[in-house]
Structure 1
Amino acid sequence: MIRKIALAALAATAVFHVAVFIQYGTLWVGALVGYQELLLVFAFLLATFWAHAPIARVFGADRLTRLPASAKALLEGSCVVLVSLVFWVVFFSLPQHFLVPSAEVTPKALRVSLAVSAVLSLFFYYFVEREHSRKNLAQELVRVAQLQKETFQAQLEALKNQVDPHFLFNSLNVLGSLIHLDPDRAVQFLGQLSDVYRALLDSGAQPLVPLGREMALVRAYASLMETRFGAALRVEWNIAPAWEQALVPPTAVQMLLENAIKHNGSTTRKPLIIKVSAAEGRLVVENNRQPRTDAVPSTRLGLQNIQRRYQHLTDRPVEIVPTAEAFVVRLPLLTTPAA
């Protein structure tokens, strides 16, 4: 708003003095009362700039796509001219009629005034508002590209962790043991492993996925880890079905579970307990803290990636709350389901 006021003030001053110079051959108006017209020009331009923004949104690149380009451009220009005519009546014709009723305005002067108002409106629309919209669009394209890059990085990181030789070695060891001890559980374990990879590959390049789809990956991964660690790991769920249509960045929740398992030790007597819940528009992942004896250095790259992706999507922050007893991460759910 401040930008529009400043621009309107500068433009009004320039237009007013150009008009004075053309009419009188000087830039100075003798009587101070003459500057009342400057205020009217300022009011006209400020209202025009204010009206241009919604017009630009209505005729944006992603709007009215069924219209031919020429028809869309003609309609857009017509709207700008129509708005300028309305404001001309409000800020020039009516004030002159009521404030100076004795003044005579020739038809030629009327036509010139209308034409100048329309040309000014078109000029500022296409060279100010459209340029501003173009810059905003360019910034939006950069933001989308950056978000897509962050999403690819998250998927690559998740796939790298799952393809990691250590992960595969442990998974195959568990699978080999189950084949001899419990063939049915071995088949189940293999299915869980397959579900994890399939869900990771299916997430694609989408910046957001429904929580229900993300939870399919998370539950498959949690089942895989619970089979591997047995009673030393327990994952508790408290997510109402209504939240499943809310949106989250893909693999974000799975990465939080992976971090909890990676950085905490667990035994059957002191199991690692991970709680996943949804409430008040947030997805909460909490685990009890019991650092491993062979502590893995934390690069926090996973958390940083999640935070950067959310920064591109919303003003609501990712909340990270570490305490001596627990580590809590709250992710904003980007849509609120109907009650």
Structure 2
Amino acid sequence: MKTSGVEKKHFIFYFYPVRKIYTIKEKLSDKDSPEGKKLRSNFQVILEKVGIAAGLTLLIYYTVFYVYFGKLYWVTKEAMLEMSLEFAFLLLLFMTHRQIAKIFSKSVLEKVHPAIKRTLELITVILTAMILHYLIDYYPLTLLYDEQEFPPVNVRNGYVINVIVALFFYYFVETRKRERQLQKEKLRSARLQKENFQAQLESLKQQVNPHFLFNSLNVLGSLVYSDQDKAVDFIRKLSDLYRSYLDHGAEMLISLKKELEVCQAYTYLLETRFGDAVQFEFKIPDDKLSLLLPPGSLQMLIENAVKHNGSTTSRPLKVEILTENDSLVVRNGLNPRKEKIISTKTGLENIKNRYRYLTDEQVKIEKSENEFMVKLPLLKVEDYENSDY
């Protein structure tokens, strides 16, 4: 059976909104996803604005009515219409306030003189309130009633009341909220700096770990006599590794490409030391190399895999480094060492804490009988710059 063009359009108009609603419902039900959290947060903000707008509508309407007429009437059809328009005005006003606050908080306006910035902000709030009052509160009523029912003094009072309400809620609600958000961001920034400093200290301890350096020098000593060319390569990789520590140790984020360069130098040293007892496989597509992660996090996961698992040439330790969507996956087989391992057990916790201050996305750890896997979120530059962190 053929479907006409009109019927196809009807199908599109029906299924598109249904699909969108279903997608939103899925995101809302997913408690762990960043999109779900953002949608729930926005939904809570809308509900809060609706409640405030409804309560304020009743307060303004009956206060003004009492001031003009000296008494209160129960709800009439005209009153319901006027209150509905006032409710729509207030709700839209609160939504625009949020956008105005975002615009004047942008770093682009930081160079503008504070007095000029505040004046522009004040004018924007007043003009927005007047335009919305005319379009939502006043103009629809002029289409339904005669102009004689709108004395000039009442019209002016309507503008004045709504402008005062707009200024009050913008400067005593939205601005205070923005100040609290700035304080929260400063606190998060301080925590992130502290966490990053702790990470640098932990990384420094591992980098100058005497055991690692001692083992590397022992390997180098044996290579000097058995394979001089390989000894030169080993020295070069060891030099690259320590140079990268100096270059990137203080950075908050590093590109996956740079982190892989460090880790490939590190895995070369491990392969030289352990031979065929350890095997590393990198499966990273080129389009993921520009994504970001905390420096040293991948190397720390590789080090943990080698540190906590035994390996032999007959039963080698296999470590896979790959990507799934926008996550870096480090997967290795489980073969716990029989001897007791001295460990501070802060490596994974340190990585999780650093991510916690950078993004809402979480580090995922999965462990089965035969396999251990860690997923690190890979961040985009624009996501990090536009985040609340």
**Given the two structures, how large is their TM-score scaled by the length of structure 1?**
0.89
Give the aligned partner of residue 96 of structure 1. 141
Listed one character per residue, the Cα deviations across residues 126-149 of structure 1 (whole Å, up to 9, x for unaligned) are 111111122222223323333333
Deviation at 1:66, TM superposition (A): 4.0
Q: Provide the C-alpha distance between the structure 2 equivalents of 1:102 and 1:216, rounded to a whole number of angstroms.
A: 76
CA RMSD of aligned residues (A): 2.4
Give the Cα separation in 1 of the matches to 2:48 and 2:342. Answer: 48
In 1, distance between residues paired with 2:167 and 2:324? 50
Deviation digits for residues 180-232 of structure 1, max 9, x if unmatched?
33333333222222222221222244332110011111111111211222222
Partner of 2:333: 288
Q: How big is each residue's C-alpha offset from its partner over 1:151-191, in whole Å with a ceiling of 9 and x where there is no partner?
A: 33223222211222222222222223233333333332222
Does 2:69 correspond to 1:30? no
Alignment-mate amino acid for residue 380 of structure 2 = T
Q: Partner of 1:167 in structure 2? A: 212
Letter in 2 for 1:235: F
Unaligned runs of 5+ in 1: none
Tell me: CA distance 1:102–1:76, structure 2 relative to 1, closer, same or farther (3 Å): closer
CA pair 31-6 structure 1, distance change in 2 beyond 3 A? closer
| Number of residue pairs aligned between Structure 1 and Structure 2 | 334
1:252 maps to amino acid: S
1:146 is aligned, of 191, 195, 215, to 191
Give the stretch that moved more between structures: 77-86 or 143-152: 143-152
Tell me the equivalent position of 1:6.
51
| Cα distance, 1:55 vs structure 2 | 1.0
Is the 8 Å Cα contact of residues 263 and 295 (structure 1) preserved in structure 2? no
Q: Which runs of 4+ in 1 moved over 6 A?
A: none
- Aligned letter for 2:201? L
TM-aligned CA deviation for residue 271 of structure 1: 1.8
1:91 deviates by 2.8
Structure 2 counterpart of 1:230, from 275, 281, 293 = 275
Alpha carbons of structure 1 residues 297 and 18: separation in structure 2 relative to 1, 3 Å: farther
Q: 2:107 aligns to what SS in structure 1?
A: coil
Residue aligned with 1:47, SS: helix
Q: Distance in 2 between matches of 1:274 and 1:167?
A: 19
What does the per-residue CA deviation read over 1:18-51, in whole Å, with 9 as the maximum and x for residues that have no partner? 43443345xx513422743444333221111011
What does residue range 39-118 of structure 1 map to in structure 2 within 5 Å? 39-101=84-146, 103-118=148-163
Question: Are the equivalent residues in 2 in contact too, given 1:277–1:284 (CA < 8 A)?
Answer: yes
CA distance in 2, matches of 1:57, 1:131: 13
Q: Residues 154 and 305 of structure 1 are in contact (CA less than 8 Å); yes or no, is this contact kept in structure 2?
A: yes
Residues in 2 aligned to 1:102 and 1:243: alpha-carbon distance in whole angstroms:
65
**Counterpart check, 1:269 vs 2:318:** no
- Secondary structure of 1:59 counterpart: helix
**1:270-293 CA-partner distances (Å, limit 9, x unpaired):** 222211112322211111221112
Residues 259 and 298 in structure 2, CA contact (< 8 A), matched pair in contact too: yes
Unaligned segments of structure 2, at least 5 residues? 1-45, 382-389
1:183 aligns with 2:228: yes
Tell me if structure 2 keeps the 8 A contact 1:276–1:285: yes
Q: Distance in 2 between matches of 1:312 and 1:51?
A: 29
The whole-number CA distance in structure 1 between the counterparts of 2:182 and 2:251 is 20
1:249-264 matches, within 5 Å, as 249-264=294-309
Sequence identity of aligned pairs in percent?
Answer: 41
Deviation of 1:123 after TM superposition, in Å, equals: 1.7
